[in-house]
Structure 1
Amino acid sequence: MKTTDVDLSPPAPAGLRASMRRAVPSGLVAGGFAAAAAAAASADEKGAPFAPINAVTHSLWPRRALHERGFSMRHTLMGFAIHQAAAVFWAVLFETLVERIAGARPQRLPAAAAGAAAATALTAYVVDYKVVPARLTPGFEAHLSDRSLGAVYVALGCGLLAAALLRRR
C-alpha cells in the first residue's frame, strides 16, 4: 500500500462516532483476550490467575492491590472493569485506524485490521510502560515476566483483529 492511499485528514465527526460505536464491542473482545492471556500466564508462572487483574487497581489501592493474589470483589471486579475500559479506549484508536486505512473498500479490511491491531497493541504497550507514570501502569508487570507481558499485548491485538473480522461477517 502506498502512503498516498491512506487518508491523513482528521476524521469526520460522523466517522468518529461510528468508530466509537464499533470500539465498545471490539474493546470488550480484546480486553477479554488480554485478561485471559494475563490470567493464564500468571497461573502458569505464579499459580495466581487473578493477581494481574487485581494489580490493575494499584492506582486506587497502592498498598494492597499488588499483593492480592486470589479472587476479590474489590480488586478482581474493579480491576477487570478498569482493564475493559482501557481496552475500549484503545479500540477507539484501532477502529479509527481501520476506517482510515480500509475506508469504503471492504476487500482491504483484513489487512487494514491486522495493521491497525498491531499498531494499536504496540502503542498501548509504549504508553502503558514508557509514557505514563508507574502509578498509572496496568500493574500486570508485578506478576508477569516480560515475555508474558508481551503475550498480553499480542492477545489485545488479536482480540481487536478478531472483533473486526467477525463484524465483517
Structure 2
Amino acid sequence: MRTWRESLHDAWLTGASASLLSTAALGICGRIEQGTAVGPNNGPSQWLWGEQAAFERRATLQHTAAGYAIHHLMSTFWAALHERLFGGVAATGSVPQTLAAGALTSALACFVDYRLTPRRLRPGFEKQLSRTALFFVYAAFAAGLVLPQLVRRLRV
C-alpha cells in the first residue's frame, strides 16, 4: 500500500481524469435523455442551493460552475482513496487487476453516494438521468481513475 503522501500527489491527476471523463458522460447522457448536456452537471449544486438546483437545465454560473467544482472535489477525494488502496496494484499488478480496482472504487463511490449519503448531499445526477445513464457515468468515472495509472505504467 502506498503512503498518503504518494497517494495525494497522484490523486490530483487521477481525480481530474475521473472528473473530466465522468463529466463528459454526464453531458452525453444528459443530451440523450433530457436534451441538455449541462443539466446533470448542475446536480451537485444542490449542496449549496437546495434540491431545486438539481433540476436546473440551463448553464449558469451559480449551478454549473458550483456543480462542476463540487463534482471535481469529490472526484479528487475518491481518487486519493483509490490511489492509497490500489496505487500499488496499478504499479505492479496486471492490467485486469488495475481495471478491477477502478471498477471497485467507482462502485464504492456509487454505493456511498446513493445508499449512505443524506439525500441533500447526493450528487443530484439521478434527478435528470436514468439508472442506465448513471451506470455509464460511473463506468466513465472508473475509466478516469485507471487511465493515469495505465499511462504511468507505460512510462516506467
TM-score (norm 2): 0.92
More helix by share: 2
**How many residues end up aligned between the 2 structures?**
154
Superposition deviation, residue 70 in structure 1: 1.1
Shift of 1:164: 0.8
Partner of residue 65, structure 1: 53
Q: Give the corresponding residue for 1:120.
A: 105
2:37 to 45, 49, 55: 49
**Is the Cα–Cα contact under 8 Å of residues 55 and 128 in structure 2 kept in the other structure?**
no
Q: Which amino acid aligns with 2:134?
A: L
What percentage of residue pairs aligned between the two structures are identical? 36
**What is the aligned partner in structure 2 of residue 35 from structure 1?**
23
Distance 1:108 1:136, change over 3 A: same
In the alignment, what sits opposite 1:95? 83
2:147 to 155, 158, 162: 162
CA distance in 1, matches of 2:60, 2:152: 34
Q: Aligned partners of 1:41, 1:118: CA distance in 2, in Å?
A: 19
**Offset of 1:91 from its aligned partner?**
0.4
Task: Report the CA distance shift for 1:151/1:63 in structure 2 as closer, same or farther (over 3 A).
Answer: closer
* Partner residue of 2:64 out of 63, 68, 76: 76
Point out the more displaced range, 78-87 or 58-67.
Answer: 58-67
Match for 2:115 among 117, 130, 147?
Answer: 130
Which stretches in structure 1 are left out of the alignment for 5+ residues?
A: 1-10
Residue identity matched to 1:134: R
The whole-number CA distance in structure 2 between the counterparts of 1:109 and 1:26 is: 18
Aligned mates of 2:93, 2:17 — CA distance in 1: 22
TM-score by length of 1: 0.85
RMSD of aligned Cα (Å): 1.6
Matched position secondary structure for 1:144: coil
- How far 1:48 moved relative to its partner? 1.1
CA-to-aligned-CA distance 1:78-109 (integer Å, 9 cap, x gap): 1101101000000012111223445xxx4525
- When Rg is computed on C-alpha atoms for both structures, the one with the higher figure is 1
